[in-house]
Amino acid sequence: MSVPADALVVDGAGLVVYPGLIDMSNSTIVEGGAIAATAGAAAPAPQAGRGRGANVATPDSITWADQERESRARFLHPDAEASKIVEIDGDDLRRLAAAGITSALAVPAQGIIRGQSALVNITAPPDPSETSALATYRRGSVVVRSGVAQHVVFATGRGGGDGGGGGGGYPGALLGVIAFARQSFLDAQWQKDAHAFADRHKDAPVASFEPALDSLAPALDRRMPVAFEAAEEREIVRALAFAKEFNLDPIIVGGAEAANVIDELKAAKARVIVSSNFQAIGGGGGRGFGAGRGGGPVDTPIRVTRMRQNAVKVPAALEKAGIPFAFTTGGLQNPGEFMRSVARTVKEGGLTEDSALKALTVNAARLAGVSDRLGTIEKGKMANLVVSEGNLLDSPKIRQVFVAGWPIDLDVPVQGLPGRGGRGSGQ
């Protein structure tokens, strides 16, 4: 094989080449402001006592139907597609690459039913000079696979976060959030059956349909898995029960107490995406899978402390039980902490090094349905590579990163103070 004249030559003495790492849940790499436009959602209804002019909503003028329409506009986004709103440039993306992460599962960041994730490469290749400036070929070039999973969050959204309900109206509490999600799937099932009836009876009156609900049909047919954010045991059990009710193919994201429900996970044939952001479990730091009540290190409940301590043992328990799993950064503000956190599951949690590396690469690719293109270093696969000095799980120095064969500039400005942060910061 002839080597291209402009090929980058790397002296491999003392270096190790790995397949690029895959972060299996990341909402920071999508354009948050474009969610509503992508999902076709209407703007929120005016708040009581706000705004100017004659059309000011008052408590007496806001009907249950008004609240229902507003809730659907704010929280129902099954047709949001991460592949259309994924970022393709920027220092935040290069920080991920500098940590060895070459691909990620991009997840829409808003709503209760948030939409469809996409497995994407972290950065786009250079834009060819002959490509029209009006086209969006570069965004398309990073998408490895769209429609990986539909994402559901049973979050109350207290404190104005981007979770589920909140805001003082329905669905304001956890029971309301669950009821909202359940009704959405019931409506989608009815609409799916109504479409089938209309196809068989062309002379029947045309029913009114909600286009967004059609995007739940692949999940109801088990052609697309449904990923539920669930950290605590009760949250996981709740998600699995929901999946059983609607015959869904479940993925658990977070899974801090997944080791407590091994039998239930196996019975549901569920997969688990384990959050490596252990400090955020139970709230207080980063993305905050779980209760999401803030808290921080002060007066942390002993239950949360134990959950964080035991979370590093979860991957080993999943491996022993034969339950497929992968890792996510879980909203870590510093991507460089990702491998250090995963290394803890080996050093403190009993996971084998080989299993940890597979969960970061080939098993993650298999879970996302892209194992024919990513996850291993083989002829014919995408050249997503990490070149390191030393073992990736033992404080390595990453020397080179390649995404789709292109070298990535790892000279990234120092990250500023937390603020953009994870969901726990109130974004």
CA dist 360 and 382 (Å) reads 16
What's the pLDDT at 203?
81
Taking 50 as the threshold, does the pLDDT of residue 256 lie above it?
Answer: yes
| Strand 325-328 relative to strand 406-407, pairing | unpaired
Tokens of 85: 């709103």
- Work out the average pLDDT over 325-338: 94
Which range is least confidently modeled, 45-59, 232-246, 296-310?
45-59
Task: Look at 256 and 155; give whichever has higher pLDDT.
Answer: 256
Two tokens, residue 417: 């103070």
The per-residue pLDDT for range 154-175, each reduced to its tens digit, is 985 543 344 444 455 677 789 9
The stretch 150-154 carries a mean pLDDT of 97
Beta bridge partners of 407: 402
Mean pLDDT lowest among 245-254, 268-277, 408-417: 408-417
In this prediction, residues 395-410 reach a mean pLDDT of 91
Q: Residue 419, SS3? A: coil
Mean pLDDT, residues 123-143: 68
SS (H, E, C) 277-314: CHHHCCCCCCCCCCCCCCCCCCCCCHHHHHHHHHHCCH
Average of pLDDT values for 306-322?
A: 97
Reply yes or no on whether the pLDDT at 101 is more than 60.
yes
pLDDT score of 43 more than 50: no
pLDDT at 32: 62
With vertex at residue 96, the alpha carbon angle to CA 92 and CA 97, rounded to the nearest 5 degrees, is 115
- Taking only the tens place, the pLDDT of each residue in 177-235 is 999 999 999 999 999 998 888 888 888 777 778 889 999 999 999 999 999 999 999 99
Kindly state the DSSP code that residue 51 receives in the 8-state scheme.
S
Indicate the range of 78-87, 371-380, 409-418 predicted with least confidence: 409-418
pLDDT interval class at 7 (50, 70, 90): confident
- Tell me what the mean pLDDT of segment 73-86 comes to: 92
* Confidence (pLDDT) at 162: 43
List phi, psi (to 5°) of 299.
55, 40
